[in-house]
A and B are shown apart, each in its own frame.
Chain A
Amino acid sequence: MEYKISNRLRIGAIVLIVLGLLGVGYGFIDSHQYETVEDVKELLANESHHDTHANEEHAEEVHEESHVSDNIGEEAHGAEHAEEGHGMSHEEHVLHQIHNRPYSALYIAAFFFFMIALGVLAFYAVQYASQSGWSPVLFRVMEGITSYVLPGGILVLLIAFIADSHLFIWLTDGMTTEGSDNYDALVAGKSGWLNKTGFFIRGLIFLAGWSAYRYFSRKFSIAQDNADINDNRNFKKNFRISAAFLVFFIYTESMMSWDWIMSVDPHWFSTLFGWYLLAGMLVCGVTTIAMIAIYLKSKGLLEYVNDSHIHDLAKFMFGFSIFWTYLWFSQFMLIWYSNIPEEVTYFVTRIEDYNLPFFGMIVMNFIFPLLLLMNSDYKRINWFVMMAGIVILCGHYIDIFNMIMPATVGDRWFIGIPEIGSILLFGGIFLFIVFTALGKYPLLPKGNPFIKESKNFHY
Chain B
Amino acid sequence: METSKVIHAIYTDDDILMSAVKKVKAERHHIEEIYTPFPVHGLDKAMGLAPTRLAITAFLYGCVGLTVAITMMNFIMIEDWPQDIGGKPSFSYIENMPAFVPIMFELTVFFAAHLMVITFYLRSRMWPFKKAENPDPRTTDDHFLMEIAIHHNEDALLSLLKGTGAAEINIVDKEEDAH
Contacts and interface: CB of A to CB of B under 8 A. Distances in A.
B26 to A, nearest CB: 21
Interface string A321-341: 000000001001100111100
B87 A68 contact: no
A59 B37 CA distance: 65
A333 to B, nearest CB: 5
Interface string B76-89: 00000000011110
Interface in A306-334: 329, 332-333
20 contacts: A67-B90, A68-B95, A71-B87, A71-B88, A71-B90, A329-B98, A332-B98, A333-B98, A333-B99, A333-B101, A333-B102, A336-B86, A336-B98, A337-B85, A337-B86, A337-B98, A338-B86, A339-B86, A339-B88, A376-B55
Interface of B: 55, 59, 85-88, 90, 95, 98-99, 101-102
Interface of A: 67-68, 71-72, 329, 332-333, 336-339, 374, 376
Nearest to A374: B59
A351 B76 CA distance: 28
A329 B101 contact: yes
A336 B59 CA distance: 30
A421 to B, nearest CB: 36
The 10 closest A-B pairs by CB, nearest first: A337-B86, A333-B98, A339-B87, A336-B98, A339-B86, A71-B88, A68-B95, A337-B99, A67-B95, A329-B101
A339 B98 CA distance: 13
Contacts of A67: 90, 95
Contacts of A336: 86, 98
A333 B90 CA distance: 17
A90 to B, nearest CB: 29
| Chain B contact residues: helix, strand, loop or mixed | helix
A102 B101 CA distance: 38
Contacts of B98: 329, 332-333, 336-337
A220 B55 CA distance: 43
B113 to A, nearest CB: 16
Contacts of A329: 98, 101
Contacts of A339: 86-88
A332 B85 CA distance: 15
Contacts of A72: 88
A257 B102 CA distance: 27
A163 B108 CA distance: 47
A115 to B, nearest CB: 27
A417 to B, nearest CB: 36
A107 B14 CA distance: 57
A67 B93 CA distance: 13
A71 B95 CA distance: 12
Nearest to A329: B101
B97 to A, nearest CB: 9
Contacts of A374: 59
Contacts of A332: 98
B86 to A, nearest CB: 4
A374 B55 CA distance: 10
A76 to B, nearest CB: 12
A333 B97 CA distance: 10
Contacts of B87: 71, 339
B98 to A, nearest CB: 5
Contacts of B85: 337
Contacts of B102: 333
A453 to B, nearest CB: 15
A329 B55 CA distance: 26
A334 to B, nearest CB: 10
A438 B102 CA distance: 44
Contacts of B59: 374
A329 B99 CA distance: 11
A320 to B, nearest CB: 17
Contacts of A71: 87-88, 90
Given A337-B98, A374-B59, 6 more contacts: A71-B90, A333-B101, A338-B86, A339-B86, A339-B88, A376-B55
Nearest to A70: B90
